[in-house]
Structure 1
């Protein structure tokens, strides 16, 4: 089994630990506490993949043995953008891995009749044009909310954007590719389809509800 499968637009992380944790999250009997912990753990594993191509420079340091030119991240601190509310579950895990990241929030909810996104909040770091921007949301379903969030980030100046999700539906991937072909997607699974309510199948239900214990 390879760790990843990728096209220019979509990378599916097939690492055994990612797939095992995802299976536990899919199970309907998994408790809220365990679901939340698994989401934090899997987000860190996915973050390794989405940050793989970050630029490096060198800095002169002193080891206990001798001086050396050692690799360090180049440029401004990256920006993590949580698409509320479920994005916060991924955000927490990635922040543990990259605690110096700047953080922003995009508040969108899906109108259950039209399935279209409605904006209610937007607060992001400054100088997005000079930062790697990683937008996080566990579910890429219809793609409408994700496209709307990326629209807002580009309007705020972001140029180098990546999208991190736990699950993706083919419909959502196609929608994102059509609207934002320059934004690569990293996910743990490309599932089968969407049902009539716009939920990913087989999916894991509503990630926000399962994370926060709401219905």
Structure 2
């Protein structure tokens, strides 16, 4: 026993103090009580798993946020992407997904701390979010997201923009925005971010109206990206186009699709969202066949 105490005092402890202890100042995290601290270790493990589970693009673009994937979300995507899904079911599950995206997007709004008194007389320290908020929907598919936004933000102002495709170009046809939009946080609504051309046109309009780039949160169900786009072997697609031009804007989406085919259709995609949602691409007794997403 004396030998162990001698080795500890003469070798282990001096080595720790000389080599290990000084390195603590360089550590990002120090776990008190070491391996006995199960709570701290579980938190670190969960953080690592979250980072490993992030989409690779989220590591490249710090302003891209994909809501955490669950079997429920994958199941709803399976239903709205299925060509055999009828309008009523498509709208029901699309609305559920839209609500999740909207709520996740609201979580990125600026906030301040606030203390309130609960009915028990206790003090609760919470937060209050920015009140100067508005939505802007890209006509027409973006209008499908308005009900979810209104359900989450009572009395919110919503502007509209209409962008028409002319060959490979996009042209602004119509816009009606709140007069004080420059002083507001803006939630831009469009279910599918495909090539990004329409998004760039809408964002440019908002910037010209005085909206700060960092005050724009772009919400969609599907955003498009691909490895070939990242390597610039082909024209940049959705995520790269928007994130590349507007690094301070935030994108919140529920899934990332692999790219566009030679006909500019999103792959795997879900068909023409506006037609399927509003019932203009068929009738309720027949399935909707895929068309261009943009």
TM > 0.5 fold call: yes
Find the aligned partners of 1:59 and 1:174 in 2 and give their Cα distance: 38
Q: Among residues 142, 147, 150, which one is paired with 1:92 in the alignment? A: 147
- Number of residue pairs aligned between Structure 1 and Structure 2: 213
Aligned with residue 196 of structure 2, among 139, 143, 147: 143
- CA deviation string 1:121-154 (max 9, x = no partner): 1111232232211101011111000000000011
Aligned match of 1:18: 73
2:101 counterpart of 1:46: yes
Partner of 1:63: 118
Structure 2: distance between partners of 1:126 and 1:195: 40
Answering whether residue 245 of structure 2 is matched by residue 197 of structure 1, we say: no
Structure number with the bigger relative contact order (C-alpha 8 A, sep ≥ 6) is: 1
Match for residue 36 of structure 1?
91
**Offset, 1:202:** 0.4
* 1:185 counterpart SS class: strand
| Alpha-carbon distance, 1:209 to partner | 0.8
When normalised by structure 2's length, the TM-score is 0.66
SS of residue paired to 1:163: strand
Between 1:148-157 and 1:65-74, the stretch displaced more is: 65-74
Shift of 1:99: 2.1
CA deviation digits over 1:68-97, x for unaligned, max 9? 466353443311111110001122222212
SS in 2 for 1:188: strand
Using the size of structure 1 for normalisation, the TM-score is 0.89
- The answer for the alignment partner of 1:157 in structure 2 is 210
Give the number of the structure whose residues are more often helix, by fraction: 2
Tell me if 1:184 matches 2:250.
yes
Partner of residue 292, structure 2? none
Given that 1:54 and 1:73 are in contact with CA atoms closer than 8 Å, whether structure 2 keeps it comes out as: no
- Give the deviation of 1:167 after TM superposition: 0.8
Q: What's the C-alpha RMSD, in Å, of the aligned pairs? A: 2.1
Larger CA deviation: 64-73 vs 130-139: 64-73
SS in 1 for 2:210: coil
Q: Which residue number in structure 2 is paired with residue 128 of structure 1? A: 181
**3-state SS in 2 of match to 1:54:** coil
**Corresponding residue for residue 174 of structure 1:** 240
Please tell me whether residue 107 in structure 1 is matched to residue 162 in structure 2. yes
Structure 1 gaps, min length 5: none
Deviates more, 1:69-78 or 1:82-91: 69-78
Contact 1:167/1:187 (<8 A) preserved: yes
> CA 1:72–1:100 in 2, change beyond 3 Å: closer, same or farther?
farther
